[in-house]
């Protein structure tokens, strides 16, 4: 809302300079976004919150300033003249819910001309366009009282005035010269033949007041906020007028605004008052009575306030004190403040004028729930688990990524993901569904980095994925890991997952070769039979179709399952006796996997501490598709040092079993 | 033999002049398979009368080399090897948590120390939790500034309303209060979504932290105290806060909170601070006393209990604290950005 200092000074005596006023306004809750000098005037742009429709008027702002300066403000007085009554046009309201009250005033014989200088300044300094004396007067009164007004060229109105819903397809050309098709969503002012205004939003060109106008019909009305909002949204408009109707316009100010506008048109345009008409019923402004308990307010705000101070501030805000009984005060809410409905609203009124920054500060003693029920409940524990998981994944060399939860349904379809939860009102097709997997997002993060020369991005992300579940939905948290590049990147991811298992699952993780759609190679990860997720290499055709130039490795795990499957941490004793190692050079023909050898070695030897692959080789001198590995096997017993002879014996058995299984030894 | 002896001495002199590692030299000259031992083994093939003399000469040589090497080892080893230490370091692979996670964690941790408990809520919400129970009237302009993404999941009931992506973390207040009796103090971080064009300071997905406390005597003074405690813990001990009246449907009184600009310390330099645009204050939070209607919607008797609530944008606060000028950096995940935190 833009207003000027000189305008306020028309009805409020202010000493403060511009800077001082900025402070006062901001502290009262009208944050000054911008202010500047304009000739001998100052212009302020304030933020108006949606509940304070009264700040959309100068009288409303003036009252606030007065209260902050500890003064009382009196509404300027306007003498209402409602006679003679107009015979025509008749005003017909179709639905009182859309328009409870409509007033018309006629002014005869005005001369439409440019406004005098002071009026131009008032209107322009409040950010509105200067048009002509009659129109500027309506804007002046709207700015002053908060009620939008409109002037029609009376002679161009054919027949009666109707306030009704538009019929589907009816046309409207506004004073902005744009033609629009209307629907039943639009509330209009019409005469017998045509639409003459979009009610509360904008007048039509066909009845615009101009130099040729000989008679003016002045409209002042109350339109329901909902119908104006729906109407202006349907028409794609947002005007100073609709803005005010949507929030609330005051029935009492309506009469004053219309009277003052009529008077000023008569005065400045040399016209004569032609008559008054009204339709509907002025909504009664029932001034609400509220009883507040000072003890309760003090407990609510956290400070002891003196009754004297409270009464003084509330009086300056326009509250009338009807009765006092001990700590209880019965108040009459000020006429203009229809937004004050209950005690807490009064607390806010008092505390903001007292000054939030003047209220004392204290630290509460926050009593934890019994047995800390919230933190030890499933959600509290899950939060801590996610943090532990995050720290763990960072410690094994992965970078946490944060990627968008929204994806493109077209791209997800390429991965075979169909029927994702979709947005009814997406902004772009690239973000029109909720993702059911982190695969695409992390692939794009890797691609982004590769395209910028950042090699070996290695990511993890802990985030929710979303899927339909019958008529309902599921939102679950997953951990995903991703890397791209050469094969060693995959095995790094695998080791990271194994390390995670070591900490959370006592190392009981089992990687089994499995199948996974979109993946050319995949491992299914189970712990004691329960599947937790997978880890694999994306089919390179898919990667290529998504413009990824390197191989992509990815794994995803259900965090809820990981959390549920955690093993309680208890020390796993390790042997104090030295380990002895022997190397095996093994040839794995195509089809034979390292896992087969590992299982054989462990089951044959029993006392195997660990196996390392210390060398691997594929070459032309090997049979096609085979892999030569040097495996270092560490033998160690829990109860004694194994002798060389014992180790040799075990190792020989191992070698025999391996050869029997078809793994060549060199 | 004389020649051999000389070769060893010359060779040794040359090697030590080059600054080769004394350990390596010890092995080369005095080791089991070293040059001196090699000569000793050849002693056996010599005529008897020469053996003693040559033996003595070899021993002298051996002792002299040994002594020389001992001295070298005892001397401070400045550059025993020709090693260029200015080469880049390598071999460390550092993982990290995302800066947004770090900031969120830090914020939650400050409040946890006061007794708040961290409870997260779902991204997918319904109108009841996101608007109605938070005292937003249907079809009111206050829902405009909170435009939302709606989802094609059938509504569970008319009162629950349509499903949507939450546009703030406040719905979780409702979820927790619906299921738990006061007293309680909860912190709730999470992702939120608004249909906003993506640019340097806006995105359709960002992060917030919500906090609220309800008991028989939680009051506005406590709200101020808790937020001061936060500002001083998160920004600096010198931070000051300014509370400005504002409006939210779910709190009354409501306030917006500014922190003193940590770049210009509110001195408003002539050159206009790039962080606070010369205002001296930076908006960081919205807060207020929980509106009694909200408590009632959750089945909590507003005559007996009262509470406060606050919410802040994590992305925005991270950007202010670390001088990050583009919100898109958070979701681009360029490793040169991620690795700085």
CA distance B43 to A127: 113
Nearest partner of B250 among B157, B156, B146, B160, judged by Cα? B146
Q: In this predicted structure, what is the pLDDT of residue A620?
A: 82
How many Å apart are CA B213 and CA B116, to the nearest integer? Answer: 8
Q: What is the dihedral of CA A424, A428, A432, A438, to 10 degrees?
A: -150
Contacting residues of A for B256, CB less than 8 Å apart: 31
What is the distance in angstroms between the Cα of A620 and the nearest Cα belonging to chain B? 31
For residues A61 and A3, the answer to whether their CB atoms sit within 8 Å is yes
What local confidence, expressed as pLDDT, does residue B78 receive? 60
A469 touches chain B (CB under 8 A): no
- Residue B296 to chain A, least CA–CA distance (Å): 14
Hey, are the CB atoms on A344 and B292 less than 8 Å from each other?
yes
Q: Which of B255, B262, B259, B313 is nearest to B281 (CA)?
A: B259
For residue A38, give both structure tokens.
């304009």
* Nearest-neighbour CA in chain B from A104: distance (Å): 28
Gap between the Cα atoms of B257 and B285, Å rounded: 5
Sheet holding A149-153, edge to edge: A149-153, A215-222, A101-108, A272-280
Does residue B139 surpass a pLDDT of 80?
no
Look up residue B126 and give its two tokens. 């319904």
Please name the residue of chain A whose CA is at the shortest distance from the CA of residue B113.
A366
Contact B183 A366 (CB under 8 A): yes
What pLDDT is recorded for position B235? 92
Strand, helix or coil at B184? strand
Using DSSP, state whether A103 is helix, strand or coil: strand
How far apart are the C-alpha atoms of A561 and A41, rounded to whole Å?
A: 68
Model pLDDT, residue B280: 83
Residue carrying structure tokens 């040794």: B12
Among A residues 35-54, those touching chain B with beta carbons less than 8 Å apart:
49-52
Could you say which architecture CATH assigns to the domain A91-280? 3-Layer(bba) Sandwich (3.50)
Phi, psi (rounded to 5 degrees) for A172? -145, 125
| CATH code, residues A378-564 | 3.30.930.10
A interface test, pick of B125, B186, B335, B339 with most A CB neighbours within 10 Å:
B335
d(CA B77, CA A408): 63
Contact between A403 and A430 under an 8 Å Cβ cutoff? The reply is: no
Query: Residue A626 has what pLDDT?
Result: 86
What radius of gyration, in Å, describes the C-alpha atoms of chain B? 37
**pLDDT the model gives residue A13:** 86
Q: How many other C-beta atoms lie within 10 A of the C-beta of residue B111? A: 23
**What residue ranges in A417-551 does DSSP mark as E strands?**
433-434, 458-469, 472-484, 509-516, 519-527, 530-538
Six-digit token string for B89: 């370091």
Task: Give the residue from A533, A532, A537 showing the smallest Cα distance to A521.
Answer: A537
Q: Where are the domains of chain A?
A: 2-68, 91-280, 289-357, 378-564, 580-665
Cβ <8 Å between B154 and A301: no
pLDDT for residue A371: 64
The average confidence (pLDDT) of chain B is 89
Q: How far is B151 from chain A (nearest CA, A)?
A: 5
Judging contacts by C-beta atoms under 8 Å, the chain A residues touching residue B245 are: 27-29, 348, 352, 356
Determine the Cα–Cα distance for residues A214 and A151; give it in Å rounded to an integer.
12
Do the Cβ atoms of B120 and A383 come within 8 Å?
yes
Q: Where are the domains of chain B?
A: 2-74, 100-338
Best CA proximity match to B274, nearest among B319, B328, B244, B331: B319
The CATH class that applies to domain A580-665 reads alpha beta
Chain A to chain B Cβ contacts (< 8 Å): 245
Residue of B nearest to A348 (CA): B253
Q: Does residue B265 have a pLDDT over 70?
A: no
Domain A2-68 shares a fold with domain A289-357: yes
pLDDT at residue B332, as a whole number? 97
Q: Say what percent of chain B tops pLDDT 90.
A: 60
Res B268: pLDDT: 56
Put simply, the answer to whether A404 touches B205 (Cβ < 8 Å) is yes
Measure in Å the smallest separation between the Cα of A399 and chain B Cα atoms.
5
Task: With CA atoms as reference, report the closest residue to B250 among B161, B168, B156, B335.
Answer: B168
Is there a contact between B96 and A366 if contact means CB atoms under 8 Å apart?
Answer: no
CA–CA separation, B269 and A415 (whole Å): 56
pLDDT for the residue numbered B55: 86
* Residue A72 exposure: Cα atoms within 13 Å on the Cβ side: 9
In chain A, residues 321-350 whose CB comes closer than 8 Å to chain B: 342, 344-345, 347-348
Q: With CB atoms and an 8 Å threshold, state whether A458 touches B95.
A: yes
Residue B104 in contact with residue B318, Cβ under 8 Å?
no
Among the ranges given (A626-635, B264-273, B320-329), the one the predictor scored with the smallest mean pLDDT: B264-273
Is A366's CB within 8 Å of B120's CB? no
What integer pLDDT is reported at residue A607 of this predicted model?
76
Write out the two tokens for A294: 């000072």
C-alpha A407: how far from chain center: 18
On the question of pLDDT at B319 being above 90, the answer is yes
Distance from CA of A438 to the nearest CA of B (A): 13
The pLDDT of residue A368 is 65
pLDDT at B23 over 90: no
- Nearest Cα of chain A lies from the Cα of B12 at a distance, in angstroms, of 38
- A 10 A CB-CB count for B107 gives 21
CATH architecture of B100-338: 2-Layer Sandwich (3.30)
- Residue A197: what pLDDT? 95
Encoded tokens for A44: 């302020």
Tokens for B103, please give them.
Answer: 């900031």
Check CB contact under 8 Å for A397 and B183.
no
Report DSSP state, residue B27: I
- pTM assigned to the model: 0.85
pLDDT of residue B270: 60
Fold classification of A2-68 is: Phenylalanyl-tRNA Synthetase; Chain B, domain 1 (3.30.56)
**Which residues does residue A469 pair with via DSSP β-bridges, in sequence order?**
A472
User: What is the rounded CA–CA span in Å between residue B297 and residue B137?
Assistant: 13
- Cβ contact, residue pair A363, B184, below 8 Å: no
Cβ–Cβ of A347/B101 closer than 8 Å? no
Nearest CA in chain A to B302: A344
3-state helix, strand, coil in chain B (%, to 5): 40, 20, 40
- Whether A196 and A207 have beta carbons less than 8 Å apart is answered as yes
| A-chain residues near B254 (CB < 8 A) | 348
CB contact under 8 A, B253 and A351: yes
* Tokens linked to A273: 């008052």
Q: Which of B100, B105, B221, B283 to mutate to test the interface with A (most CBs of A within 10 A)?
A: B221
- Summarize pLDDT for B182-231 with one digit per residue, the tens: 999 999 999 999 998 899 999 999 999 999 999 999 999 999 999 999 99
Return the number of other C-beta atoms located less than 10 Å from residue A385's C-beta.
Answer: 19
**Best residue in A229, A305, A344, A352 to probe B by mutation, most B CBs within 10 Å?**
A344
Residues of chain A falling short of pLDDT 50: none
Strand locations in B133-204 (E): 163-165, 184-193
| DSSP-derived 3-state class of residue A279 | strand
**Antiparallel, parallel or unpaired: β A320-325 and A328-332:** antiparallel
Strands A179-181, A149-153: pairing kind:
unpaired
For chain A, percent helix, then strand, then coil, each to nearest 5?
Answer: 35, 30, 40
Helix, coil or strand: residue A478: strand
Q: What value of ipTM does the predicted structure carry?
A: 0.87
- C-beta atoms of A49 and B246 within 8 A: yes
Confidence of residue B141 (pLDDT cuts 50, 70, 90): low
From chain A, the residues in CB contact with B116 under 8 A are: 366
Distance CA A310, CA A394 (A): 56
pLDDT digits (tens, 9 = 90+) for B8-19: 888 888 888 877
User: Mutate which of B153, B279, B287 to test chain A, going by most A C-beta atoms within 10 A?
Assistant: B153
Among A565, A445, A590, A438, smallest CA distance to A506 is for A565
User: CA B148 → CA A211, A267, B14, B126, distances in Å?
Assistant: 47, 50, 81, 11
Pairing of strands A2-4, A91-93: unpaired
Is residue A629 within 8 Å of A586, Cβ to Cβ? Answer: yes
CB spacing of A382 vs B335 below 8 angstroms: no
Cα-only R_g, chain A: 40
Note the CATH architecture for domain A289-357. 2-Layer Sandwich (3.30)
User: Of B263 and B227, which is predicted with more confidence?
Assistant: B227
């Amino acid at each position: 809302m833009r207003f000027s200092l000189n305008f306020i000074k028309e009805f409020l005596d202010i000493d403060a300079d511009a800077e001082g006023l900025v402070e006062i306004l901001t502290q009262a809750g009208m944050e000054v976004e911008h202010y500047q000098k304009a000739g001998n005037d100052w212009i302020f742009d304030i933020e108006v919150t949606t509940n304070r429709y009264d700040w959309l008027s100068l009288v409303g702002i003036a009252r606030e300033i007065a209260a902050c300066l500890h003064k009382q403000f009196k509404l300027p007085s306007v003498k209402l003249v409602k006679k003679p009554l107009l015979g025509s046009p008749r005003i017909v309201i179709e639905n009182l819910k859309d328009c409870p009250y409509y007033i018309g005033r006629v002014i005869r014989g005005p001369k439409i001309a440019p406004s005098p200088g002071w009026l131009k300044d008032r209107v322009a300094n409040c950010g509105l366009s200067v048009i002509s004396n009659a129109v500027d007067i309506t804007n002046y009164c709207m700015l002053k009282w908060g009620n939008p007004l409109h002037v029609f060229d009376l002679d161009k109105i054919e027949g009666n005035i109707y306030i009704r819903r538009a019929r589907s397809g009816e046309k409207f050309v506004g004073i902005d010269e744009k033609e629009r098709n209307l629907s039943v969503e639009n509330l209009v002012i019409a005469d017998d033949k045509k639409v003459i205004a979009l009610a509360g939003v904008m007048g039509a060109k066909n009845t615009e007041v101009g130099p040729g106008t000989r008679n003016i019909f002045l409209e002042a009305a109350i339109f329901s906020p909902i119908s104006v909002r729906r109407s202006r949204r349907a028409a794609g408009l947002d005007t100073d007028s609709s803005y005010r109707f949507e929030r609330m316009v005051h029935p009492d100010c309506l009469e004053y605004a219309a009277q003052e506008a009529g008077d000023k048109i008569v005065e400045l345009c040399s016209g004569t008052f032609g008559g008054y008409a009204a339709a509907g019923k002025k909504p009664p402004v029932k001034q609400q009575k509220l009883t507040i308990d000072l003890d309760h307010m003090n407990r609510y705000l956290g400070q002891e306030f003196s009754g004297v101070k409270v009464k003084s501030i509330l009086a300056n805000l326009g509250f009338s004190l009807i009765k006092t009984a001990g700590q209880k005060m019965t108040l009459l809410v000020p006429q203009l403040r229809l937004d004050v409905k209950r005690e807490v609203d009064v607390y806010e009124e008092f505390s903001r004028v007292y000054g939030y920054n003047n209220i004392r500060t204290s630290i509460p003693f926050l009593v934890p729930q019994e047995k800390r029920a919230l933190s030890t409940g499933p959600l509290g524990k899950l939060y801590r688990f996610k943090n532990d998981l995050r720290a763990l994944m960072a410690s094994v060399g992965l970078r946490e990524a944060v990627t968008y939860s929204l994806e493109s349904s077209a791209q997800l379809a390429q991965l075979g993901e169909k029927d994702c939860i979709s947005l009814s009102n997406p902004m772009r097709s690239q973000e029109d569904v909720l993702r059911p997997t982190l695969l695409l997002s992390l692939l794009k993060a890797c691609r982004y980095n590769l395209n910028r020369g950042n090699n070996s991005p290695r990511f993890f992300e802990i985030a929710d994925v979303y899927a339909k579940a019958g008529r309902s939905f599921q939102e679950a948290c997953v951990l995903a890991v991703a890397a791209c590049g050469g094969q060693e990147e995959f095995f790094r991811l695998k080791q990271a997952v194994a390390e995670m298992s070591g900490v959370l699952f006592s190392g009981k993780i089992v990687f089994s070769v499995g199948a996974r759609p979109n993946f050319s190679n995949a491992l299914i990860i189970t712990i004691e039979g329960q599947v937790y997720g997978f880890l694999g290499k994306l089919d390179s055709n898919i990667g290529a179709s998504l413009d990824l130039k390197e191989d992509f490795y990815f794994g995803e795990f259900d965090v809820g399952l990981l959390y549920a499957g955690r093993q309680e941490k208890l020390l796993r004793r390790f042997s104090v006796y030295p380990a002895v190692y022997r190397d095996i050079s093994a040839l794995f023909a195509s089809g034979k996997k390292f896992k087969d050898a590992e299982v054989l070695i462990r089951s044959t030897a029993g006392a195997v501490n660990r196996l390392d692959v210390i060398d691997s080789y594929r070459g032309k001198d090997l049979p096609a598709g085979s892999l030569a590995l040097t495996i270092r096997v560490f033998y160690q017993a829990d109860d004694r040092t194994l002798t060389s002879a014992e180790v040799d014996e075990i190792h020989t058995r191992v070698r025999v079993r391996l050869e029997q299984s078809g793994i060549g030894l060199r | 033999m004389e020649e051999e002896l000389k070769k060893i001495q010359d060779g040794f002199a040359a090697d030590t002049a080059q600054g080769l590692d004394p350990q390596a030299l010890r092995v080369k000259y005095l080791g089991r398979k070293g040059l001196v031992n090699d000569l000793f083994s050849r002693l056996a093939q010599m005529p008897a009368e020469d053996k003693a003399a040559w033996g003595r000469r070899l021993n002298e040589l051996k002792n002299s080399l040994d002594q020389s090497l001992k001295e070298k080892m005892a001397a401070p080893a400045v550059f025993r090897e020709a090693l260029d230490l200015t080469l880049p370091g390598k071999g460390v692979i550092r993982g990290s948590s995302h800066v947004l996670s770090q900031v969120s964690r830090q914020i939650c941790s400050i409040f946890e120390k006061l007794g708040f408990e961290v409870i997260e809520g779902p991204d997918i919400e319904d109108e009841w939790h996101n608007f109605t129970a938070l005292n937003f009237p249907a079809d009111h302009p206050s829902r405009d500034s909170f435009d939302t993404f709606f989802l094609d999941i059938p509504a569970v009931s008319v009162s629950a309303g349509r499903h949507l992506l939450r546009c703030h973390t406040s719905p979780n207040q409702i979820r927790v209060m619906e299921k738990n009796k006061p007293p309680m103090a909860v912190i709730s971080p999470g992702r939120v979504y608004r249909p906003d064009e993506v640019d340097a300071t806006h995105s359709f997905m960002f992060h917030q932290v919500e906090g609220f406390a309800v008991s028989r005597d939680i009051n506005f003074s406590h709200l101020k105290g808790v937020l001061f405690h936060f500002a001083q813990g998160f920004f600096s001990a010198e931070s000051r806060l300014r509370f400005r009246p504002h409006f939210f449907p779910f709190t009354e009184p409501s306030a917006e909170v500014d922190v003193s600009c940590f770049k210009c310390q509110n001195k408003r330099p002539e050159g206009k601070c790039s962080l606070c645009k010369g205002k001296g204050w930076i908006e960081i939070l919205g807060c207020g006393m929980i509106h009694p209607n909200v408590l009632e919607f959750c089945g909590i008797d507003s005559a007996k209990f009262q509470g406060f609530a606050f919410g802040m944008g994590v992305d925005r606060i991270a950007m202010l604290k670390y001088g990050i000028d583009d919100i898109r950096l958070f979701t681009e995940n360029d490793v040169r950005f991620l690795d700085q935190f």
